[in-house]
């Protein structure tokens, strides 16, 4: 049973380009979370999704960032017109379909985004 998969593991973009980060949850998991870790800072919540629904996006920057979790395929975190301040490690986590509050979250290996 594969764990949470994220790709790419490393992504380099120039300012103004788009970044697409992918997350495939563990088999049977229907809840996906995206977290960001800025250099030398702690992890911060971005968005919580279930299939085809955004449940909580209170941690998402208002502009340039969007997330989706379609019926088929991985969850995507999209950053448009990247800036140097977007350079960070982006982690995805998943949990199973019963009460997510009491369930362990399983983390992917992260995508390290570098904006030149």
Min dist CB 78 to another protein, Å, is: 19
Q: Which is nearer to another protein, 87 or 107 (CB)?
A: 107
Picking from 21, 26, 15, the residue whose alpha carbon sits closest to that of residue 82 is 15
User: Where do contacts with another protein occur on this chain (CB under 8 A)?
Assistant: 31, 33, 35, 41-45, 48, 55-56, 58-59, 89, 91, 93, 95, 100-107, 109-110, 112
Least distance CB 95 / another protein (angstroms): 8
CB 50 to another protein: min, Å: 10
Element (H, E) at 45: strand 43-50
Please state, as a whole number, how many other Cβ atoms lie within 10 Å of the Cβ of residue 60: 18
Q: Which is nearer to another protein, 14 or 40 (CB)?
A: 40
Which two three-digit tokens encode residue 82?
Answer: 């990247």
With respect to another protein, which residue has the nearer C-beta, 8 or 16?
A: 8
Nearest to another protein of 74, 110 (CB atom): 110
CB of 81 to another protein, least distance (A): 26
Distance CA(4)–CA(97), nearest Å, equals: 15
Q: What are phi and psi for residue 73, nearest 5 degrees? A: 100, 180
Give the distance from CA 97 to its chain's centroid.
18
């Amino acid at each position: 049973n594969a764990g949470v998969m994220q790709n790419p593991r490393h992504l380099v973009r120039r300012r103004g380009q788009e970044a697409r980060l992918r997350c495939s949850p563990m088999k049977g998991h229907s809840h996906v979370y995206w977290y960001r870790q800025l250099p030398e800072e702690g992890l911060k919540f971005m968005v919580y999704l279930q299939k085809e629904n955004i449940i909580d996006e209170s941690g998402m920057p208002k502009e340039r960032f969007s997330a989706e979790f379609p019926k088929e395929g991985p969850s995507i975190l999209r950053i448009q017109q990247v800036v140097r301040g977007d350079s960070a490690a982006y982690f995805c986590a998943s949990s199973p379909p019963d009460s997510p509050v009491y369930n362990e979250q399983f983390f992917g290996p992260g995508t390290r985004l570098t904006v030149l």
